[in-house]
Structure 1
Amino acid sequence: MSLATAPSPRTKGSEFAPLLRQVKEAGLLERRTGWYTRGIALNLVALAALAAGVLAFDGSWWVLFLALPLAVLHARTAFVGHDAGHAQIADNRRLHRAIGLVHGNLLIGMSSGWWNDKHNRHHANPNHVEKDPDVGVGALVWTQRQAAEREGFARWLTRHQAGLFFPMLLLEGIALKITGWQYLKQLPANERRVEALLLSVHFLGYVAFLLIAMSPMLALTFALLHHALFGLHLGMSFAPNHKGMEMPHEGDGREWGHLRRQVLTSRNVRGGAVTDWMLGGLNYQIEHHLFPNMPRPNLRRAQAMVRDHCASLGLPYVETGIVESYRQALAYMHEVGEPLRATA
């Protein structure tokens, strides 16, 4: 089930109902199709201009300086795919699917089907140890119980995971693409064919363009640098949102409704227009989780309503600066690995 068709949270008689009513009356759930149309067009023009810039360098190693803006624009492209998965752009399910496929599979080479499935499960149970794939065991772990089960190199990795977090993000751009290819076998045959075709077109087009524009060695260097910076940027956009916040699990006796489940597990990042642009609106993580289909430009407008509603209930509303958000996330990862360092 895609995020666009996920069931709405039960609101009757809940803590969430008054807030939902207030947001609806303010028109904040209405689509901002014109805003997205302009943003998508500008992003495509910028990508085309950057491609022309790569060709203009005529094989010079100075072209490596364009890997950074390309990584930023690819992150912008991923943000559009993310918003399409949440049905934020228009009242048309097929259009959202098409936008997701173009921006995910075709333009950045990442499976939109994989992303929507994973992200849907995250939104349903954020930071839930057994249900949220974002806190499952992987290269990193998120609880001391997970850490205790590590062996060999993985155990060493967990001991040092806070210090290795940002360097490991340099591999995320490539990992996202590999994971997407691996996920294709789980899709229905017709969806698998479409996604595989678009992923193949992206890969072949990307390789062919670089080999036309530069030597093979420079092309390889450019691709590695571009994907490293892309993974770092994307990872830094998602990292501050939940790490170090509440982590519910089976049997802990907590039966939270939609409001508490989303607010207590999320952290906002304070900032202005530049922060909004660089983080793709994910800095309003609390509002985004409460209203996943709210158009991105409306999240800032909803913030005061959400903050005041939480205050009226005595519910913590966590918001920090960008540096402090990373400090808290890294401190939590360091704490998870503490028992392993104590026994090393």
Structure 2
Amino acid sequence: MSALGSVQRIPHDRKILIIDNKIYDVTEFHHEHPGGSQVLLTHIGKDASDVFHAMHPESAYETLANHYIGDNLDSTRKGDDAVLPNKKLFTNDIRQLRDRLAGEGYFQANGLYYIYKFISTLALCFVSLLILCYYGQQSTMAIVLSAFLLGLFWQQCGWLSHDFGHHQVFRHRGWNDLAVIFLGNFCQGFALSWWKNKHNTHHASTNVNGHDPDIDTAPVLLWDEYASANFYGALSYTSNNSNNNNNNNNNNGTSTSSDTTSTTTASTDDKPELGPGVIDRFMAENVLPYQTRYYFFVLAFARASWATQSLLHLVTEGALNKATALRCYELGCLVLHWILFISATARWIDGLHNQLLFFVLSQSFTGYMLAMVFALNHNGMPVMTQEQAEAMEFFEIQVITSRNVKAGPIGTWFMGGLNYQIEHHVFPTLPRHHLAAVQPMVEAICRKHQISYHATSFIRGTLESLDALDVAQKVSRNWSRNPLRIVRRIISRLVFVI
């Protein structure tokens, strides 16, 4: 195909990406994208060069070439006018650093390090089950200790799966995916396909309202003003829509007999939309305005929630590549995970009370140890609209929306290296054990170009997350207590009764 003058000449029904001034049609491919469909859809019609290079191994270039349709002769990106020259210089310096690091071998994993991580992580599970096997029927303290170690094992499995999921270890994608299925699906109970679709989209559009799934936690938690406005606005819109439809139906009901036919048709075709769910209404009016009070309580349910989402994703959506074999393999690993966990609990613990204690504690410990770290990564950092994000450089977004946590060796081990969140988001395929060495280089470039680089302590970062929840809950309180909205809710209920 001949070179194209600009993106606008391509039919609107095609899904295209621009990478290194080449145009690629992913209309058919995005459903089979190994990293999930949604991550591609967030960059349709945009220059995705930096996000592509940041998240893909060299093997991806061959797949990309299959979807090439021409050159983008109009190399001016949409939104370039709004990008400050300093920000473009910042991007160029990050690109040069990436090339230098690649040349010096920083993107090559240390095999001995990951053998150690693999063995030491599995050892936590072995010790936990050993304690349960020998003392589970004798000591409640042994049950508590075993549950804690199992929770720590699941947390460390999460970090190790994360490394393999970003292709930090093996150069071949298939070997990384196999490791994720073993550590994630079988050992931890989280599905590869669910995680990749969600996490890769998060990396591509970090803290972008409407794109990043990690900040879309309504109706349980609202992290920013955008989320509050969207959630309450949607409830209000649906309620008003329902009221209008009910009024239209009442007016149609008073028509003359000559209009009977048209009235019947309207009543059948224009059925009123269902109003907001009872749960959403209850959360909006009674719970979300006080979310800082129950935040730490909710974290205990994080693992159970993600495990449930994993199972539902495979059942309803299938595997990432839509292959039946991968779907069945992932589902089989998830089912086997729960069979072994429940069997060990029932066999090695005496009494239903202690069995429930072990189940609840192991799930809750994991929830806290995972969610406390996740909350520090980005919550409380700037959230932007899609329009704002489009006018910004990719690396700039990654830096200003991420939070580093100052931690020693034990803290770094506990957080799986994610305390270097900024460096991880700038270079997602960089092996964990190189993040500490790269951190000063990235910070120096940010300081040079006056890009906000935020690093703080674990406690301070947690307080910043709570501050963000507090701001959002105040917005929620204003929405829920607005007199006009209260009147509208009363009228809505009266109309529904009548």
**Could you say which TM-score interval applies, normalised by the shorter chain?**
over 0.9
- SS of 2:396 mapped into structure 1: helix
For residues 106-127 of structure 1, the C-alpha deviation after alignment (integer angstroms, 9 at most, x for no partner) is 0111112101110000000100
Counterpart in 1 of 2:476? Answer: 340
> For residues 69 and 58 of structure 1, do their structure 2 counterparts lie closer, same or farther at Cα, with a shift above 3 Å needed?
closer
Spell out the pairing of 1:54-93 with structure 2 (5 A cutoff). 54-60=132-138, 61-62=140-141, 63-93=143-173
Tell me, yes or no, if the aligned pair for 2:124 and 2:152 is still in contact at 8 Å: no
User: Alpha carbons of 1:270 and 1:2: their partners in 2 closer, same or farther (altered >3 Å)?
Assistant: farther
Which residue pairs with 2:263 in the alignment? none
| One-letter amino acid matched to 1:74 | W
Structure 1 spans left out of the alignment, 5+ residues: none
Q: Distance in 1 between matches of 2:35 and 2:453?
A: 25
- The verdict on how the C-alpha distance between 1:58 and 1:73 changes in structure 2, with shifts beyond 3 A counting, is closer
Q: Which residue of 1 is the match for residue 364 of structure 2? A: 228
Cα contact 2:380–2:465 (8 A) shared by 1: yes
2:378 — aligned with what? 242
Contact in 2 for aligned 1:264/1:316 (Cα 8 Å):
yes
2:304 equivalent to 1:167:
no
Counterpart selection for 2:208 from 117, 121, 128: 128
Unaligned runs of 5+ in 2: 1-32, 40-50, 56-87, 233-279, 482-498
SS of corresponding position for 1:73: helix
State the structure with bigger RCO (CA 8 A, min sep 6), 1 or 2.
Answer: 1
**Aligned equivalent of 1:8:** 53
**Alignment pair present for 1:102 and 2:182:** yes
Q: Distance in 1 between matches of 2:175 and 2:382?
A: 36
Residues 1:273 and 2:403 are matched in the alignment: no
Paired AA for residue 334 in structure 2: L
TM superposition shift of 1:27: 2.6
> AA paired with 1:273?
P
Query: Do 2:389 and 2:397's aligned partners in 1 also have CA atoms closer than 8 Å?
Result: no
- Paired residues, number: 344
CA positional deviation for 1:105: 0.8
Determine whether 1:152 maps to 2:230: no
Higher mean alpha-carbon deviation, 142-151 vs 63-72, is at 142-151
- Taking the aligned partners of 1:244 and 1:299, their CA distance within structure 2 comes to 23
Could you say which structure has the larger radius of gyration? 2
Which of 205, 208, 214 in structure 1 is aligned with 2:349?
A: 214
Q: Residue by residue, what CA displacement relative to the aligned partner does 1:79-121 show, whole Å, maximum 9, x if unpaired?
A: 1111111001121211111110011110111112101110000
* 8 A contact 2:224–2:468 mirrored in 1: no
Structure 2: how far apart are the matches of 1:229 and 1:154?
26
For 1:167-220, what per-residue CA distance to the aligned partner results, in whole angstroms no more than 9, with x for missing partners? 101111111111111100312222210111001111111111111101333212
Is the Cα contact below 8 Å between 1:110 and 1:180 reproduced in 2? Answer: yes
CA distance in 1, matches of 2:373, 2:389: 32
- CA change 1:105–1:73 in 2 (3 A) is same
Alignment partners' CA distance in 1, 2:211 and 2:473: 22
Contact 1:32 1:90 in 2 (8 A): no
Structure 2 residue matching 1:251: 3-state secondary structure: helix
- The whole-number CA distance in structure 1 between the counterparts of 2:125 and 2:228 is 42
The Cα shift of 1:47 comes to 1.4
1:315 aligned counterpart, secondary structure: coil
- Name the stretch that deviates more: 120-129 or 240-249: 240-249
Q: Deviations over 1:291-332 (max 9, x none)?
A: 101101111111000000111111111000000000001101
Q: Does 1:293 align with 2:338?
A: no
Aligned residue type for 2:283:
A
* DSSP-derived class of the 1:316 partner: coil
1: CA distance, partners of 2:397 / 2:224: 18
Distance in 2 separating the partners of 1:58 and 1:142: 41
Shift of the 65–340 alpha-carbon distance from structure 1 to 2, 3 Å rule, reads same
CA distance in 1, matches of 2:401, 2:450: 16
Paired amino acid for 1:162? T
The alpha carbon displacement at 1:147 in A equals 2.0
Q: Which residue of 2 aligns with 1:117?
A: 197
Q: Distance in 2 between matches of 1:65 and 1:44?
A: 16
Q: Please provide the CA RMSD for this pair.
A: 2.2
Q: 1:58 to 1:207 in 2, by over 3 A?
A: same
Structure 1 equivalent of residue 101 of structure 2 = 23
Match of 1:141 in 2: 222
Is the counterpart of residue 194 in structure 1 residue 194 in structure 2? no
2:308 maps to a residue whose letter is: I
Counterpart of 1:35 in structure 2 is 113
- Contact 1:16–1:258 (8 Å) recurs in 2: no
Sequence identity of aligned pairs in percent?
Answer: 24
